[in-house]
Amino acid sequence: MSPPGAALLTRPPTAGTGKGMAAQLLLAVVSGGYAVGAALGWGSTELAKIMGDFGLSTAGLLAAVSCFHYARTIDRRERPAWLMFAFSSLMGALGNAVWGWYEVILGQEVPEPSLADFAFLCFAPPAIVGLLVLAKRPVTRAGWVCLGLDSWLIGGSLLTLSWSLALANAARTVQSGAPGSVPRAALSLAYPLLDIALVSMVLVLHFRRSANNRSAVNTAIAALALTVLSDALFTSPLLNTTYRSGEILDAGWFAGSLLLAYAPWGARRAESAQQAVRPPRAERPHSRPISGSLPALTPYLAAAVCTLGILYNVVDGRKVDRMVVFTGCTVVLALVIRQGIMLVDNIALTQELAQKENHFRSLVQGSSDVIMIAAPTGTLRYVSPAAAGVYGREAEELVGTELATLIHPDDLGRVVHEVRRFLAAPPSEEPTTRIECRFESGDGDWLNVESTVNRHQGGLILNSRDVTERVRLQAQLQHSAEHDPLTDLPNRALFTRRVRQALTGRRAGDQGTAVLFIDLDGFKAVNDTIGHQAGDELLVEAARRLQDSVRAGDTAARLGGDEFAALITGDGSRDRSAREYQVREIADRLRTTLSQPYRIGGAEVRVAASIGVAFADPGITPSDLMRNADLAMYRAKAGGKNRVELYAPQMQAEVVRKAEFAGRLRTALHEGEFTLLHQPVVSLATGEVTAVAAQARWRSAQGILFTPAEFLRVAGYSEGAAHGVAPDASRTAELGRWLLEEAVEQAAERHRAGHHAPVAVRMTAQRLLDRSVPLASLDALLTRHGLPSGALVIELADSDPRVPFDELERRLAALRRLGVLIALDGFGSGYAAISALRRLPVDMLKLDRGLVEGLAESARLYKITAGLLRIANDLGMQSVADGVDLPEQVSALRAMGCTHGQGMAFSGPLDEYRLRRALVRGTFPVPGGLAQPALAGGSSSGLMVIRRGSHDETPVPPA
């Protein structure tokens, strides 16, 4: 018994169970009390007659009412049977009531025959019909024939025995025709014959009863059997002549009636309680209508009873009665026919079984799966022929082998544990299980095998298949999902999992664990110059160097693009400084290794490595640790590249501050907190306003105007780049877009008002090369506002030397075709100023304010500035000095040949109202009065005149 089954059986009885036991106890007490009273004669003859007649009548009436009421509450298919039982009980009650009328009320003997005999004769036929209704109907003609033969085998054998013992004398009495003896003899024959028929149906129904309401049907059959037994004793010669009402024989009829009254209700309560306590039993398969109708011994027992009846006559020396011979012969004939039908049925079953066995053998032998049967000891008792193709070993060779010897030792413990767990589980809850392990093949290799396991006579049935290819494919897919396809290093997902394992495994809390983020400086230039194929080859070589440089227990990974990472596991040391020194030494070694020249396609290629290092602090998460390493790597790139940077907490604070600044800047733009000012550009010869330079200002809540540099400084930015990118390009792109659109719109309004001074807008080279700002959008902006050609000047800020000049040259040439003028801003301060002047299509030069500020104090700076202005005049370009704040600067610049100036010596940045007033006035006073330029090439006209110089006439080829 399974443990769950034992637990169910030990549950306390339910309320329904207690009521059923009380009803059964009451039934036993009442029946026992009646039997005791009958055995003691009830104390008086009068009481005995009352209890023997009206007591039996009351019990029969109770059974009739119970069966009738039950018939109204059940399925229609069984309702007629219980109605027949009710009618049968009613007839028995009526017979006993008539009997009591004569004996108790009238005080005379019951006449023979009487109405009581008629009622008693009507007891058996309804009961027989009810039993037939409850019987399970055969489904074939042969089944009906066997049902009839089974009934006759039982009835005929009982008739033979009864005729030999008692009925022969009653039959001779009927034949004699003596006065008054014929009705009594006929009744003597009728009672046993009906009882024999009823007994036959009771026995047949016992083997063919329906599964519905089994408890009620079994109780009803027991009640009818008890009644038939009492009838048989009543009709026997020993008791027939001496029977008196109220005797012990009445106790059998009384108990039978009470049992029939109890059958539909008490038995049903007991069955409900039993179902509530016990788990549902599996449904049994239906037996065949022929061979499964009666147990195999029933025909032989019937023939034995019939033989005993014949032998009784022979041994007694009397002449064998013809009735006995006829009945015996029919019983034997029925037995022969019954056995013949069984023989034919057995032959059909044998053929069907052989066909199914052949079908099963064909399925097993032709299946590609290996089917094995293992005994409870683990020995293989059967192996299908498919083992030769799957395992490379013949089935006969495997039979008798221990199953454990075929399983890989590393998998054996897991398999044994699963098998024991499966065998301990209830079969109804877990009929099968699935096990995957490695089996040894004939050539010594290990095959991945998946087996479906079922129970079989204490052992196991294993349906196994080779899944080696599937496991190999899954491993390949898993490897592809976790590794970079180009370098075969772990990808970001696997690297993140390794970091998580390092932080949560047995080394959790080891502060020596570190993550390195590595970026290859200059890799984009490799892709742009020698192609992406060469870039891929460089990445593969860099990955190989990285993999060879880390330790055996560390993890190297490629995160994407030219970004790599390394996980350096700690050694449990508590000396933080020593651990930092060791990890920094590893990082420096990696940087040196990755920065060595690469041999790609026969050419030598150089890149550098910027490395950020972050250590695992207590309680840090994998994502935070990797983020810290990433921040340190970007700090290394911003600090000059090709270096190692350790993470510091202020890096995260700086990132937060920059994020807050980006949100603050965006809010200021959307809420109109920025305004546009313009600073006049004045001719140093005449003081006339020739252009205006647009400058953005942020208006604080206190009404103070901040310049962009001041605004960035307040937000925590330095004048340098963030992450290697200028703040204009990385954080203030939206501000630059607003500045350009606002400057163009206001310039177009001034142009329509008659003020034709061009507007100058400062832009970086990165901003000009940004693909999110196509030339078509700038052309559409100029067209939308109606700004004429030459009215917009783009001041190109000194660019990063990494900016590709070829692309920048194409972009500037396209702008000039749109009528946009180009000024080289900050000339003389950057490394690429001369290269930009030589290659880029520039219309004017704008001196850096650093050259102008020290002009009066430094003779060296004076000579440098004079040389730069001479170059501008020789190329036919206009020159604009930025930061002209002092009168002596104006005089010096004008003497050097500078044509225009911008600064506080003339005017600061003006709002739109003051700007228009200045444009109406047209000129500013020039310190020192009018003067002619010392060098030729200057312009003394009012407006800024742009002369296309040698760039248009004699293009200079790129270096």
C-alpha to C-alpha distance for 49 and 38, rounded to whole angstroms: 10
Handedness of CA 925, 928, 929, 932 (dihedral sign): negative
Yes or no: say if 202 and 224 are a contact pair by the CB < 8 Å rule. yes
Measured CA to CA, the distance from residue 666 to residue 649 in angstroms comes to 26
pTM for the whole structure: 0.48
Higher pLDDT, 102 or 704: 102
Q: What is the pLDDT of residues 492-502, one digit of tens each?
A: 999 999 999 88
Answer whether 736's CB lies under 8 Å from 902's CB.
Answer: no
Q: Are strands 689-699 and 563-568 parallel, antiparallel or unpaired?
A: unpaired
Number of Cα atoms under 13 Å in the Cβ half of residue 767 = 24
Q: Which of 170, 160, 164, 169 is nearest to 190 (CA)?
A: 170
CA nearest neighbour of 312 among 165, 474, 444, 473: 165
Range in 100-104, 115-119, 562-566, 763-767 with the lowest mean pLDDT: 115-119
Neighbouring-strand partners of residue 692: 680, 759
Q: Are 793 and 691 in contact (CB under 8 A)?
A: yes
Largest CA distance in the chain: 178
**For residue 746, what pLDDT is reported?**
93
Alpha helix positions (H), 671-732: 708-714, 727-730
Q: Which of 509, 730, 517, 522 is nearest to 620 (CA)?
A: 509
Map tokens 């009238």 to a residue.
106
Give the CA angle between residues 836, 838, 842 to the nearest 5°.
Answer: 65
Give the model's pLDDT for residue 78: 77
Mean pLDDT of all residues in 392-419: 88
Q: Summarize pLDDT for 245-293 with one digit per residue, the tens.
A: 777 778 887 888 888 888 877 655 545 554 444 444 434 444 444 434 4
What DSSP letter does each residue of 72-85 carry, written as one string?
TTS-TTTHHHHHHH
CB 897 within 8 A of CB 870: yes
- Buried b / exposed e along 110-130 (16+ C-beta atoms within 10 A): beeebbbbebbbbbbbbbbbb
Spatial contact of 654 and 662, defined as CB atoms under 8 Å apart: no
The tokens for 790 are: 């030459």
**Which residues have CB under 8 Å from 333's CB, separation 6+?**
none
- Estimate to the nearest angstrom the gap between the alpha carbon of 424 and the chain centroid: 29
Tokens of 852: 């102008």
| For range 828-845, the mean pLDDT | 75
Q: Mean pLDDT check: name the lowest of 29-43, 429-443, 809-823.
A: 29-43
pLDDT at 598: 92
Task: Determine the Cα–Cα distance for residues 852 and 887; give it in Å rounded to an integer.
Answer: 12
Question: Is residue 212 a contact partner of residue 194, using CB atoms and an 8 Å limit?
Answer: no
Q: How far apart are CA 768 and CA 825, in angstroms?
A: 14
Is the four-CA dihedral 379, 385, 386, 390 of positive or negative sign?
A: positive
- Per the model's pLDDT, the better-predicted residue between 4 and 792 turns out to be 792
Predicted pLDDT of residue 272: 55
Q: Of all helices (H) and strands (E), which one includes residue 861?
A: helix 859-874
Angle at Cα 289 formed by Cα 285 and Cα 290, nearest 5°?
Answer: 125
Contact 819, 788 (CB under 8 A): yes
Tokens of 526: 């490799």
Do the Cβ atoms of 865 and 896 come closer than 8 Å? yes
Residue 341 has a CB neighbour count (10 Å cut-off) of 17
Q: Are 514 and 568 in contact (CB under 8 A)?
A: yes
Confidence of residue 609 (pLDDT cuts 50, 70, 90): very high
Contact criterion met (CB below 8 Å) for 371 and 387: no
Quote the strand ranges of 427-525, DSSP E: 432-440, 446-456, 459-466, 514-521
CA distance 809 to 818: 15
Measured CA to CA, the distance from residue 72 to residue 131 in angstroms comes to 18
Q: Once rounded to an integer, what is the mean pLDDT over residues 687-692? A: 93
Q: What is the pLDDT of residues 199-250, one digit of tens each?
A: 555 555 555 555 556 677 777 777 777 776 676 667 665 555 566 777 777 8
pLDDT bucket at 89, cuts 50 / 70 / 90: confident
Strand, coil or helix: 298: helix
Alpha carbons 197 and 281: distance in angstroms, whole number:
34
Sequence length of the chain is 959
